[in-house]
Amino acid sequence: MKVTVFGIGYVGLVQAAVLASVGHDVMCVDIDANKIENLKKGIIPIYEPGLTPLVEETYQSGMLKFTTNPEEGVSHGQIQFIAVGTPPDEDGSADLKYVLAVAETIASYMDSPKVIIDKSTVPVGTADKVSAKVASVLASRKVDIDYDVVSNPEFLKEGAAVGDCMKPDRIVVGTENENSRKVMRELYAPFNRNHDRMIFMDVRSAELTKYAANCMLATKISFMNEMSNLAELLGADIEAVRHGIGSDSRIGYQFIYPGCGYGGSCFPKDVQALIRTANGIDYQPSILEAVEKVNYAQKQKLFENLNDYFDGDLAGKTVAVWGLSFKPKTDDMREASSIELMKALWKAGAKVQAYDPEAMEECQRIFGAQQGLDLVGTKESALKGADALVVCTEWSQFRAPDFDLIEAMLNHKVIVDGRNLYDPQLLKDRGFAYYGIGRGDSVKKAG
Ligand code: UDX
């Protein structure tokens, strides 16, 4: 099938390459000429396992094409994906200007029937707005061409995006148009073998499904973070509690890991956007508000723990930070807990020596000019002359460090572990002060 994808960000590029890899003829359109030229040379703007070879292979085979010419893009595909960004507005609601601009572009150039797919995460009601935009442009062109706007939200996880796209748990399709349903079935047939993963529904339900999924996951995390705070105060160990409740299949083990707060491009933005949507219809979403509030507080914990250890005197201290990305296997630092930590440390007059396996360039891009930031090439060099170690991201290379070396290199024997990677008892035996998340038996200050 002939497919066009507008917006070659995370979602657009992964979706395009995966569709091309199964034999669809896919054209990617982006206004960023530099990005398009780089992609043609095999330079991928993001770090995502498996994506570079997939883009190279499909580009070489001719199934994946890149252009900056919107007219060429519109005439190429019977199917037109809108996968541009929906950044939060000042007030946290999703900004639709890019989505509606693509809708206008499609309507301005189309001369044959199109199935237009909203792939970006957009508020409930957006498909109606896209439809209205297309209708008004077609009317002003005085042409009557069939089209349908379908909501087809994306559920991929960063770091596992290619796999998630190749083997989706479900393919949610919101449209009541029979022809569009047939087209979507054919498009996704290669990913829908063995058992039927396609779930058809009306447009608004599909739009809300995406938000409900992400907000549910964010709720699980904030719930566990709240439990971890209680565990700490009550002298319980949240890791034992996690095990205990996860064994109930109604709860399950996934997404109940306590930590230093959720980040990334989805959860914080989507929780906020759904709150704004609710407010806009005079509904106060108490659970969502609490989820956000708990997450904000959780992101402050790393700093609070350091502050506790050093009795509020962090000025002139140097802190080794392991992990900058919001989670492992990505270089994405959007809404990462490391950012909150570093900003608080700088404000308190401390210095940061940071290392991340993938996010060093990204950190340089964001904080390059920042005083008090030293980006170093290995996790060991981050410890050099440092007063404390903080783990922000659970990269596998941080899981079993050489504690003798850490002990020898740090000025103070203190580890703040934002991901509960280490055994509190082991560190206690070694004489470390250890601040985990919700470990009642944590051995704070014992060092
Ligand atoms: C998420 C959803 O998982 C995905 O389905 C959706 O399409 C986009 O948003 P992503 O943002 O890539 O994906 O990351 P995810 O792995 O879900 O992690 C999000 C954040 O939650 C990370 O900061 C992670 O550290 C945190 N997290 C996750 C926890 O703190 N505890 C957990 O148990 C799980």
Rounded to whole angstroms, the Cα distance separating 374 from 244 reads 41
Return the percentage of the chain with pLDDT > 70, whole number: 98
Q: Which residues are catalytic?
A: 266
The whole-model pTM stands at 0.92
Indicate if ligand 1 lies below 6 Å from the C-beta of 158: yes
User: Looking at domain 211-296, does it have CATH number 1.10.1040.10?
Assistant: yes
Query: What's the CATH fold of domain 300-435?
Result: Rossmann fold (3.40.50)
Q: Sign (positive/negative) of CA torsion 117, 123, 128, 132?
A: negative
What is the torsion angle, in degrees rounded to the nearest 10, for the CA atoms of residue 407, residue 408, residue 411 and residue 414? -10
- Same CATH fold, 211-296 and 2-201? no
- Residue ranges per domain, the chain? 2-201, 211-296, 300-435
Indicate if ligand 1 lies below 6 Å from the C-beta of 266: yes
Q: Sign (positive/negative) of CA torsion 439, 441, 445, 447?
A: negative
For residue 330, the ligand 1 atom closest to its alpha carbon is 12
Residue 72, SS3? helix
Section 72-76 average pLDDT: 98
Q: Could you tell me the pLDDT band of residue 442, with boundaries at 50, 70 and 90? A: low
Neighbouring-strand partners of residue 439: 237
Q: Could you report the per-residue pLDDT of 202-255, keeping only the tens digit for each?
A: 999 999 999 999 999 999 999 999 999 999 999 999 999 999 999 999 999 999
With beta carbons less than 8 A apart as the criterion, state whether 225 and 437 touch: yes
Indicate if ligand 1 lies below 6 Å from the C-beta of 395: no
Q: Could you report the per-residue pLDDT of 95-150, keeping only the tens digit for each?
A: 999 999 999 999 999 999 999 999 998 999 999 999 999 999 999 999 999 999 99
Q: Which CATH class is domain 2-201?
A: alpha beta
